[in-house]
Structure 1
Amino acid sequence: MEETALSESESTKSQTLTAFLGLRGLIVDGTLAPGSRVSEPLIVERFGVSRTPARAALAQLAEEGLLAKRERSGYEVKSYTEQDVFQAIEIRGMLEGMAARLAAEANVSASHLQAMESVVTELDDVVGRLTTDSEQTEYVHLNNEFHRLLLEASESEMLAMSLERIKALPFGSPNAFVESLSLNHAAVKKVLIMAQEQHRAIVECIRKGEATRAERLAHEHSFCAARYLQLLRAKDEPIPWIAEKAKRANRK
């Protein structure tokens, strides 16, 4: 009996994770637009899970801020304004600035610094030849790796938990807007080159123990994401996580 109960519990956890990741993906990639109603039956049918895991996935995504409770019943995809997005970017920048400061104040190992420098070197090569989708994918992977190593260098569990909350939002990751743009565009490449110089400078500050400058650079680095958003607006590209009504209201 005990083994059966444990098996059922594991199955429920697995189904919850399947529903959670699947639904989160639909929201992040814009398949489910802001304001779209999301119900348990939809999740059950789409991901082949039972109602209990579907209900748990909805609650988790509401806690992350991707879903909002409807007045009567159920959930809908939460709408954000551009101001919300810019503020989330700045909060991430403040947290990553703190990570850089803590890393510069700590005795980061030579091997960890070497790993960060290796990523910067690889990014140099990718930025220099960005012309294809495969290279764009490579850039996104390496950029994620740089930010992971930066956080790891801070050795702060509290900071990691705080950043995880921000990056759970669809526009909260360092690559949120990079993946929506053609990286071969001249204006985008200027931002990428500037971001890459900031990567290099952050590592150098950590190596030299220049905590204040490292913090300032990492905070400033987050504004590259804001610049990507501005480029999307200039091209009048749709931004999946911002409701059109909220976007227009914010521009007035």
Structure 2
Amino acid sequence: MSNTTLENTLKEMILREEFAPGERLTEAGLAERLGVSRTPVRNILPLLAAEGFLSPVGKRGYVVSAFSEREIYEALDLRATLEGWAARAIAERGADLDLLRQLDACLSEGDAIFEKHHLDREDELQYGRMNERFHQLMIDGCQSPILSMFIERLNNVPFVAPSVIVFDQVGLRHAFTMLHRAHGFHHAIVDAVRKGDGVRAEMLFREHANHQRVSMFERRKAEQAPSADTPQKPEPRRRRKPANV
């Protein structure tokens, strides 16, 4: 199992709540459960902690982060507000050519992912990294240390960082539709920034964040809905009332 596959497997296990919030995870226990050596597990645990999936405890230990949907929703909304502010500031100030060149490179990389009109498992990490780079370019391009500090703190809330894309929660077909639409927002945001339309750039960034909120809470809705494979209890048979005469 490659490091990329192992990382995504652990993310999906946490999202499926196969590990309870607050549960302590050890290198030895995970290695045995996943059938891998301890070295890749040791390398990946700090990465998951950096993205908010785990919280450090003790010298080298980790526990599964506890979180609520409200906390995640609020963090996503705050991040969208700050990133929208950054996009507006860049647009109104005038984006430099190097920033636009790097943003265009992100757009091209995303376009290449969707050219085949479907997603594969390996696209998960590639899109996540491109998405993270796109968002970080906007933050860095704003040149505001205090904004960068706030964004960094928000990205430590579980599942809020732009790199967190886990296809298992919505399925590859649905993920294609959602991410293709989200990447369309990337194009529109860059277009607004290039034209100096700050108001439009800010509005687009806030709407763009709605797609991540949908992907994060899609699993909850799916879990609450009755499965087609689950037998339903028959309703109790009602006695027919006699007709009025």
TM-score range, shorter chain: 0.5 to 0.7
Q: Which residue of 2 aligns with 1:230?
A: 217
TM score, norm. by length of structure 2: 0.65
TM-score norm. by structure 1 comes to 0.63
Supply the distance in 2 between the matched residues of 1:201 and 1:183 (Cα, whole angstroms).
Answer: 26
Work out whether 1:203 is the aligned partner of 2:190.
yes
* Cα pair 2:83 2:139 within 8 Å, conserved: yes
Residue 126 (structure 2) pairs with residue 138 (structure 1): yes
User: Which of structures 1 and 2 has the bigger CA Rg?
Assistant: 2
Superposition deviation, residue 29 in structure 1: 6.7
1:233 and 1:141, CA in 2 relative to 1: closer, same or farther beyond 3 A?
same
1:194 aligns with 2:181: yes
Unmatched segments (≥5 aa) in structure 1: 1-25, 47-56, 70-74, 238-252
Contact preservation (8 Å) 1:97, 1:219: yes
- Count residues with an aligned counterpart: 191
Gap change, CA 1:109 and 1:99, over 3 Å in 2: same
Name structure 2 gaps, 5 residues minimum. 1-9, 31-45, 225-245
Question: What letter is aligned with 1:99?
Answer: A
Partner deviation per Cα, 1:169-197 (whole Å, 9 max, x = no partner): 22111233445446622x32221122111
Which amino acid letter does the alignment assign opposite residue 144 of structure 2? S
1:132, 1:222 → 2: CA distance? 23
Provide, for residues 62-84 of structure 1, a one-character-per-residue CA deviation record: whole Å limited to 9, x for no partner. xx896599xxxxx9755222122
- Is 1:215 aligned to residue 202 of structure 2? yes
Equivalent of residue 159 in structure 1, options 122, 147, 153: 147
Q: Which has the higher helix share?
A: 1
Which of structure 1's runs of 4+ aligned residues deviate more than 6 A? 26-29
Contact 2:106–2:130 (Cα < 8 Å) also in 1: yes
* Residue 27 to residue 191, structure 1, CA distance change in 2 (3 Å): closer
Q: Is the 8 A contact 1:85 1:171 kept in 2?
A: yes
Which amino acid counterpart does residue 93 of structure 1 have in structure 2?
A
Supply the distance in 2 between the matched residues of 1:98 and 1:205 (Cα, whole angstroms).
13
| Partner of residue 106 from structure 1, selected from 93, 115, 120 | 93
Letter matched to residue 144 of structure 1? E
Contact 1:202 1:217 in 2 (8 A): yes
**Structure 2 residue aligned with 1:9:** none
